[in-house]
Amino acid sequence: MSISEFNRFQLEASKLGRNVVFQVTVFEKKERNKSRLYAETQCFDPLQYMIQFVIRDAPDLDGVIEAFAKQLVHRGFAPMKYRVKSANGSWDAWIAVPEY
């Protein structure tokens, strides 16, 4: 089994009139010719203190973003836009988060 960094993305969401930009690192776990993606991030909220988001067993990066957006909605955030880090280290343009 091996775990390596797969990619990074930033997602901007709004809650109670505040915009929060989440920096998410996505890891790839390979075992027995099978590869799955995992991601984890957290934020601090004045009402609930620390909120942790964990995504497990996503098939691809879009699956990670979809699962993260659904968790944000469940916790009262409104996901607005995201961007992915490109291979050369720069950030791609912001893209609107689709409705899931």
Token digits of residue 63 = 């699956």
For 67, phi and psi rounded to 5 degrees? -65, -40
Determine the structural domain holding residue 37 and report its residue range. 2-96
Average pLDDT rounded to a whole number, residues 11-23: 91
The pLDDT, as a whole number, for residue 33 is 83
What pTM did the predictor assign?
A: 0.86
Total domains present in the chain? 1
In DSSP terms, 29 is beta-bridged to: 3, 36
With beta carbons less than 8 A apart as the criterion, state whether 30 and 87 touch: no
Q: DSSP of 36-99, one letter per residue?
A: EEEEEEEEEETTTEEEEEEEEEESSHHHHHHHHHHHHHHTT-EEEEEEEB-TTS-B---EEPPP
More confident residue, 62 or 33: 62
